[in-house]
Each structure stands twice: as structure tokens, then as C-alpha cells.
Amino acid sequence: MTEPKIQLTDDEWREKLSAAEFAVLRRAGTERPFTGEYTDTKTPGVYECRACGAELFRSTEKFESHCGWPSFFDPKDSEAVILRRDDILGMTRVEVLCANCHSHLGHVFEGEGYPTPTDQRYCINSVSLRLVPSDPT
């Protein structure tokens, strides 16, 4: 894996992020299901990394999976995120990281049968994202 473009110390990240943001973005935590601010959001716009502001997902790729977290079927582009094997909980999953700052975003799952073009579900913590609404004009 390449080095992140943005590299801060833990103390610098703690100054920049709230305690909840730090726990998820920098320590690979997970927010409780159905509690995130973007779980059911349908607002058109762009979802950025809350840690560094990199564009990650667009509302046009968001779908309702009813899993408790915002779900997307594709990132902004193939270089917006990094995928990394995650065996921490005794099962194999694929972790999703911001390619710009290597902050933890969530996990991606495949083959679950959702009617999406990619058959993938990027299950992303709301606290890892910031929605920038589209200009209504």
C-alpha cells in the first residue's frame, strides 16, 4: 500500500477530529447501526472524507440496503479508496480506506444480491463522511 498523501500524528488528528470521528476514522471503529446522520439521506451531492475532504462517493451511487449504515455501490472512482483485507473479527472482510489519508471508512461486501450495477455494498460509517449538497441551480 502506498503512503497517504496526508500524514498527521495522532495528536494532530485528535485536534482536527471529534472523539467519535477519531475512533472510527483513525482507529477503525464502527458507529452503531441506524444512528448515523447519512443512513437514510437522499440529498443529492458528494460525500467527502470527513478527515481530509477527498471526494469519495456520490449520491447517485447511494442505495437503500437497510443494513444500518449508508450504502454505496461504487466509489467516486477506482482511486478514491483503497481496499485492504481485514481479518480482525475472525472473519475475512474487505476494509475501505480513504486513498488520500488512509482513514477507515467501513467495509465492502460482494454477492449479497442487491440490484445494483456492481453487486457490491460499500457499507460506510456516516461519521467518516461529510455530505456536500449539490447546487440546486
User: What pLDDT score was predicted for residue 137?
Assistant: 56
pTM above 0.95, yes or no: no
Edge-first strand order for the sheet with 129-133 is 55-58, 45-49, 129-133
C-alpha cell at 19: 472523539
The single residue listed with the C-alpha cell 458528494 is: 46
85-120 pLDDT, tens per residue? 887 767 788 999 999 999 999 999 999 999 999 999
Mean pLDDT, rounded, for 49-76: 95
Edge-first strand order for the sheet with 104-110 is 62-63, 71-72, 120-124, 104-110, 93-98, 81-86
65-81 pLDDT, tens per residue? 999 999 999 998 778 99
Q: Say yes or no to pLDDT of 1 above 70.
A: no
Would you list the domain boundaries of the chain? 10-133
What CATH number was assigned to the domain covering residues 10-133?
2.170.150.20
123 has catalytic annotation: yes
